[in-house]
Amino acid sequence: MSLSLLFYFLNYKFFEKLLGNQMKKLLINVIMFCNISFAQSTYNWQNYSDLKDIRDFVFTNDGVWAASSGGAFNYNFSQKIYQTFGKAEGLLGNDLNAITIDSKNKIWFGSKSGMIDVLNLNTNKFSYISDIFNSDKINKGINYFFLKGDTVFVATDYGISLINTNNYFFYDSYFKLGTFSSNQKVNKVFYYKRVYAITNDGIAIQKQNATNLSAPESWDVFTNSSIGVTRVNDLVNFNDEIIIATNRGCFKFSSLNQNWVPFISELNNIAVSDLEVFQDKLFILSANKIYQFSNNNLTTLYVGDLEFKKILFNSSFDLAASTNKGIFSFKENKYLLPNGPVANQFANMIVDQNGHLWVATGKDGIGKGIMKFNGKEWNNINRQNNPNLLTDDYYSIFSAGDDIIYAGSWGSGFTKIGTNKTIRFDVSNTPMVGIPGDSSFLVITGLANDSKKNLWILNHWAGDGNQLALLTADSSWYLFKVAAAQGRVLNKLFNLVIDQYDTKWFLHLDAGNLRGIFYFNENKTLNNLSDDKSGILTEANGLNSTDIYDIKIDKRGDIWVGSSRGANIISNISSVVNQANPQFRITSVFPLRQQIVKAIAVDPLNQKWIATAEGLLLVSSDGSKVLANLNSKNSPLLDDRIESLTVDEKTGKVYVGTSLGLNIFETPAIKPKDKFEGLFIYPNPFIIKDGSQLITIDGLVRDSEIKILSISGYLVRKLETPGGRVAYWDGRDDQRNLVNSGIYLVVASDREGNEIEVGKVVVIRQ
C-alpha cells in the first residue's frame, strides 16, 4: 500500500473507529519503518457538492437536517449557521435519499448505495451500517426510515429491513410482500398497529395478528389498479384512519370492507405527492400547492412558483418544504441552503494567481455559467447577474495572470473577466467566424498565452477554416489556418496548450477526419504564413490511440497525452522549430497501459495526477512508478469518474471535479522558494510520544538537502526531501531510533551547497 493511502486513512475521521488506536499506531510505525517519501501523502480533504436537490429532511430541537444528492447539511435556527457533511467529514454515503432522528439524538442517513451512516449528535461521531451496502443485492438503495421505539424500519430497493437503533443489529428483512414480486422496491414503510409498505405496484399491509412477516402469506396486497390509481406516493395516520396520497387524489382505508375509498372530494383526480399530520391538521402537497384539511374543511395555504417534494410541520418553525433549490421555510420566506457550487459540473478548472478556483460548468445547454471559489465562498457568474454573458454554457477556462480570467463559451465566443468588469468577444467584435450554417455560433474550446503574453484562441469549428486566432497585447487580431489540416474545416478541436518554444498543440477528435494531435508554430512571423510550421500526430507516429481526452505540458517541457489506451509522452518538441522535418520521441507510460486517462494535472515536483475511469493516480515525474492510487472506496474521493483536475502550485492543493462534487486535498508538493528566506519548523517544540508524530520543515528551495544535527554538531539524520517547499522529519536518527530530548539544528542547503539555511527545533521525548 502506498503512503498516500495510509496517510489518508490516518487523517480520515472514521479510520480510528474502524481500526482502533492500536492498529493506527501499528500502521504509522509501518510507514516510518518503510521510509517512504512523504511527497506522496494527501491530507486535509474537503468536499463541496451541490446540495440543492433535497430528497428528505427532518426537524430537531434546534434546527433542520437535510439529505440531498450531494450529501447532508444542518441549519441551526438560533445561530443561523450551516454545517455540511460529506465524505471528508465522515459521511460514507454521499448520494442520500432518507434521513431521520432517533430517541437517542442520533441522525440516520440512508444513501442510494445502501450505506447507512449514523451521526451521534451527543459525541459528534459517526457509526456505519454497511450490511446492505455489502450485500449481494443488485439494487441496494435506502429509500425511507420509520422509527418505532428502538426499531427503525428501513424501506429499501429490495424490501424492508428492521434494525435495532441501540446496537445496529438487523432484526429481520422482508423480501416477499404477499403476491408482489420478490425483492420489490419499497418506497416508504409505515407502522400504525401494523406495517404498511408502499411499492411501485401498490400497497402491502401486514395482516391482522400476523407475526412472521417473512412469509408472503402474512401480507395483504392492494395493487394500484385495484385502488384505481397508477401510483401511491405517501401514507399517514390521520385521526386513526390510514390515508394515502396518489396520482388521483387521497384515499382512506376501510377496515370493514378491506378496500380504499376516496377521501376529500375536492382533490379527486388531482395528483397528491405528500402528506403531513400535525395534531388535528392534515397538510397536503400537490405540485406547487399546499392545502390544509381540518374539521372536514379544505383550505389552500400556499401556491408557489416551484414544485415541492415533501412537507414537514414543526411547532416552533412552522411549515417547510423540500425543493430542488433547498428547503423552503414559509416562516422565514426563504430557501435554506448552505453556500456551495451551483452544480456538480466541472468541465474544466484552473487556479489563478490568488489561489482562487475558476470552473467552466459545461456545454450544450446544461452549463450553469462560471463558478468561482475563493476558499471560503462560492460565487456564480451567469446571465442573470451579468448582462455581458449571452449564455451559461462555458466550457474552457484560462488564467492569464494580473487578475484576468478568460472563459470560452459554447456558442457565444469568449469572455474576459477582470477585477471590475467583463468583456465579451464574439463575431460582432472579432474577425472570428462561427460554425458552418450559423456563423454567429462561435465555440471556443481553448485559450492560452504565448511567451509574449499574446492570447491564442482555439475555434472549435471555424466555418472559414481558421482554427486559431491571435489577440496580441496591443489588441491586434490575426487568424491562422493550420496547413496540416489540408484545407479542411475541422469540427472538433479541443485542449489548446503552448510549449516553451511557442508551439501550439491541440486535439482534433472527429473520427476519420485527421483525428489526432495538431501542432502549429508561426515561426515568430504573424504576417508571413509561408514559414509557418504544422503537423499532426496519430497512431502511425506512435500514439497509443487518437481517442484522446487531455494533453498537458510538464515541467521538463514534455507533452503528456491521456487517451482511452493509457498515456503517451511526446519528447524532443524543440524539433518543431529546429528541424525541417520534426522528429519526436513518443513513448508509452507503462504503469498506465490498462487505464483510460481522462485528465492530467502536473504538480510542482513534476509528478502527474492522472484521472482515470477508476479513480485518481499519482505517478512519478517520468511515469515509471505509481506513487498513489485513490478511489471512492479507500479515500474521501466522491466519485471514481473524474471530469477535470487542476493543481495550485503555491499551496500543493489538488482539485478534483466529479459528477458528485468537488474534492480538494493538500499535498507536500508545493512550489519551492527561489531562495532561502528562513525555515518555518512546526510544531516547535516537537513532542515525540510513539514515533507517529511528524514535524514539518517549510521554506525550502528546489531539491534541498536537509541534515538534522545535535547542538554539538553530530549528524543525526540526513533527509531525502520531496523536492518542493516542505519536508518532514519523524524524530528518528539514521538507525531508525527515536532521538532524545534536546535542541536540534535543521540545516537545509541547495543542491550545489551554495545556499544554506539553519533552523532550530526543541524535541521533547515523552
pLDDT one-digit tens code per residue, 497-511: 999 999 999 999 997
**The pLDDT of residue 332:** 83
For residue 732, being part of any structural domain is answered with: yes
Closest Cα to residue 634, out of 45, 20, 23? 45
For residue 503, being part of any structural domain is answered with: yes
For residue 239, being part of any structural domain is answered with: no
Q: How far apart are CA 546 and CA 539, in angstroms?
A: 6
Residue 669 CB-half CA count within 13 A: 27
Q: Which residues pair with 425 in a beta bridge?
A: 414
In a shared domain, residues 428 and 535: yes
Closest Cα to residue 649, out of 618, 607, 621, 610? 607
In a shared domain, residues 460 and 529: yes
In whole angstroms, what separates CA 515 from the centre of its chain? 31
For residue 122, being part of any structural domain is answered with: no
In a shared domain, residues 657 and 749: no
Decide which of 666, 687, 704 is a domain's last residue.
666
In a shared domain, residues 471 and 531: yes
CATH number at residue 383: 2.130.10.10
C-alpha grid cell, residue 198 = 408502499
In a shared domain, residues 655 and 706: no
The 8-class DSSP code of residue 451 comes to T
703, 723 Cβ separation under 8 angstroms: yes
For residue 469, being part of any structural domain is answered with: yes
CATH number at residue 759: 2.60.40.2470
| Sequence-distant contacts of 611-615: CB under 8 A, at least 24 apart | 611/562, 611/642, 611/643, 611/644, 611/645, 611/656, 612/640, 612/642, 613/640, 613/641, 614/640, 615/640, 615/642
Q: Which residues pair with 665 in a beta bridge?
A: 654
107-125 tens-digit pLDDT? 999 999 999 999 999 999 9
For residue 132, being part of any structural domain is answered with: no
In a shared domain, residues 448 and 538: yes
Q: Which residues pair with 163 in a beta bridge?
A: 152, 170
Determine the structural domain holding residue 708 and report its residue range: 672-766
In a shared domain, residues 658 and 687: no
DSSP per-residue string spanning 76-104 = ETTTTEEEEESGGGT-S--SEEEEEE-TT
For residue 428, being part of any structural domain is answered with: yes
pLDDT beneath 70: ranges in the chain: 1-40
Q: Which string of b and e fits 91-126 if b means at least 16 CB within 10 Å? A: bbbbbbbbbbbbeeebbbbbbbbbbbbbbebeeeeb
**The pLDDT of residue 2:** 37
pTM for the model stands at 0.86
**523 exposure class (CB count in 10 Å sphere: 0-12, 13-18, 19+):** middle
Q: How far apart are CA 279 and CA 223, in angstroms?
A: 30
**The pLDDT of residue 702:** 86
- The 3-state DSSP class for residue 224 equals helix
In a shared domain, residues 555 and 494: yes
Question: Residue 623 to residues 280, 544, 577, 644, 708: CA-CA distances in angstroms?
Answer: 69, 15, 26, 20, 31
Residue 366 CB-half CA count within 13 A: 10
Decide which of 666, 685, 718 is a domain's last residue.
666
3-state secondary structure 144-171: EEEEECCEEEEEECCEEEEEECCCCCEE
Q: How far apart are CA 546 and CA 514, in angstroms?
A: 10
Decide which of 618, 643, 666 is a domain's last residue.
666
**The pLDDT of residue 147:** 97
In a shared domain, residues 535 and 681: no
In a shared domain, residues 677 and 652: no
In a shared domain, residues 641 and 694: no
Q: How far apart are CA 191 and CA 372, in angstroms?
A: 47
In a shared domain, residues 486 and 446: yes
Q: How far apart are CA 134 and CA 245, in angstroms?
A: 33
Domain count, the chain: 2
Q: How far apart are CA 291 and CA 302, in angstroms?
A: 7
Residue 37 CB-half CA count within 13 A: 17
For residue 555, being part of any structural domain is answered with: yes
